[in-house]
Copies of this chain bind each other. A is one copy, B any other.
Amino acid sequence: MNSPDMPQNRRIVLASRPSGAPTLANFRLERVPVPRAGAGQVLLKTLWLSLDPYMRGRMSAAPSYAPPVAVGDVMVGGTVARVEQSGIEGYRPGDIVLSYGGWQDYAVSDGTDLMVLPAGMSHLSRALGVLGMPGFTAWYGLLKIGAPKAGETVVVAAASGPVGAVVGQLARLHGATVVGVAGGPEKCRRVREELGFDACLDHRAPDFAAQLAAACPRGIDVYFESVGGKVFDAVLPLLNTFARIPVCGLIAHYNDSVYDGGVNTDPGPDRLPAFMGQILIRRLRVQGFIILEHYSEFYAEFLHDMQPLVESGKIRVFEDIVDGLENAPAAFIGMLEGKNSGKLLVKVSS
């Protein structure tokens, strides 16, 4: 029994696995006593929670690159948190850390997933966005796989999102012509006017494929793939010889049954043999990557590159901020539907 004035930890657990698109019924808000940190542990109070498309994968039991969240367990997620109580030398109450505490008010960590953020960092949420996982995804995929040269054409899916926005701006800084793709005229306007892309097209337009062809008169040299679906379909015939396709996500397919280990029901014709033919004839390079695997080798180089660009305003980002942990499930569902514009963050505590 908890007394009403005992500090409580609100946490959002996976109530059931989704079949197709997640619904609110797949999540459950629980209240439990705030845990205590033992020796070799710290207690963290969540300030910011990051919501990201990869979390859809963790809700499924199908084999993937990371283990699924068990039903009844707290949803995983990156957080910025404050150390409340420390049993680890080197961490003091009041330290602000980047952590992986998940969808809850408080979390206990053994320190292995923590990074102390600089004291006085002005925009803590950036550690979850442009200077965190999404920004690093953009930087690594574009520069280490896509490697655009000046004068080439780069197409970026989900251009207003936290990855796409950085991909496009970085590509422009490298001298490429950048065509973004986003959902709806308002997102497209912001991508063009506020992020400086050469063009941004609405994938909901009935003539989207024709618009994309017109916007890429010299073909496409790099397609930064995070979406799949009809954006990929429209890109495919425009790929130039030696085009590179870094693949960091396929949000249009995360609710497909094959992602849950089910049967493939995509109607024919089967385009896979013809795609392999295009890979050969056009000497394409298609490469998937999971950014978590590249932190040890490249994160320091990324920060060294990116921090000055962000501080000088050469790279801008949008943030979508949702107030209150209890609103995380609805915000996450909306993100999978393409409703947000920019990095989606939950302000859990100030």
**A contacts, CB < 8 Å to B:** 63-65, 225, 228-229, 232, 241, 247-250, 253, 256, 258-259, 264-277, 279-290, 293
Contact pick for A272, options B272, B284, B289, CB 8 Å = B272
- Complex Cα spacing A281 to B63, Å: 9
A277 engages B290 (CB within 8 Å): no
How far, in Å, is A229 (CB) from chain B's closest CB? 8
Given A286-B285, A287-B279, A287-B286, answer yes or no on A270-B273 (Cβ-Cβ < 8 Å). no
**In chain B, what residue has the closest Cβ to A267?**
B268
Can you sample 15 A-B contacts with CB below 8 Å? A64-B281, A225-B276, A248-B280, A250-B276, A250-B277, A253-B276, A264-B274, A266-B272, A270-B270, A270-B272, A272-B272, A284-B287, A285-B287, A286-B286, A287-B287
Given A241-B65, A269-B264, A288-B284, answer yes or no on A277-B258 (Cβ-Cβ < 8 Å). yes
Q: Which residues of B contact A283 (CB under 8 A)?
A: 65, 287-290, 293
How far, in Å, is A284 (CB) from chain B's closest CB? 6
B253 engages A277 (CB within 8 Å): yes
A274 engages B266 (CB within 8 Å): yes
Q: Which residues of B contact A248 (CB under 8 A)?
A: 280
- Complex Cα spacing A228 to B270, Å: 14
- Complex Cα spacing A232 to B276, Å: 10
